[in-house]
Amino acid sequence: MKFGIVVNEGPYQRQASDSAYQFAKAAIAGGHEVWRVFFYHDGVNNASKLTEPPQDDRHIVNRWTKMAEEHKVDLVVCVAAAMRRGIREENLAPGFRISGLGQLVECGTKCDRLITFGD
């Protein structure tokens, strides 16, 4: 089955991005496809390559990057939400790309299931 995921909250402040990641990981392990993760609202902050958590904590940004590389997950950051919050091409972590809200609509039309993680 083809899944689309929406992440509405930034890393570390809320659990949403962690839950979304664990869900995506389990979906892939279960033989499903995670076609795209769309980052909206403060969720765009998941894409900042300047993120540097303490060494004994999980690295939320790198975790997404690794998933994108290993499983061809399309990580899309909403351009309007990103610009508001200072997320640009120059501070985008590998695996993420910036695009429009149409990519979220496409998640809804193309995927078998669309699931939102937020707060």
In the complex, the smallest distance separating the C-beta of residue 8 from another protein, rounded to whole angstroms, is: 7
Taking the complex as a whole, the smallest distance from the CB of residue 81 to another protein amounts, in Å, to 6
Q: In 3-state terms, what secondary structure has residue 22?
A: helix
Q: What ranges in 1-119 are assigned the alpha helix state H?
A: 16-29, 60-71, 79-84, 102-110
Taking residue 103's Cβ as centre, other Cβ atoms within 10 Å add up to 18
Residue whose structure tokens are 């299931």: 113
Select 1 or 91, whichever has its Cβ closest to another protein: 1
Active-site residue, from 16, 27, 78, 107: 78
Percent of the chain that is helix, strand, coil (3-state, to 5)? 45, 25, 35
Q: Which residues bind another protein (CB under 8 A)?
A: 1, 3, 6, 8, 15-16, 19, 22-23, 25-27, 29-30, 32, 40-41, 80-81, 100-102, 104-106, 108-110, 112-119
State the minimum distance, in angstroms, from the CB of residue 67 to another protein: 14
Task: Specify the residue, 62 or 106, whose C-beta has the smaller distance to another protein.
Answer: 106
CB 10 within 8 A of CB 86: no
CB-wise, 72 or 110, nearer to another protein?
110
78 as an active site residue: the answer is yes
The catalytic residue positions are 78
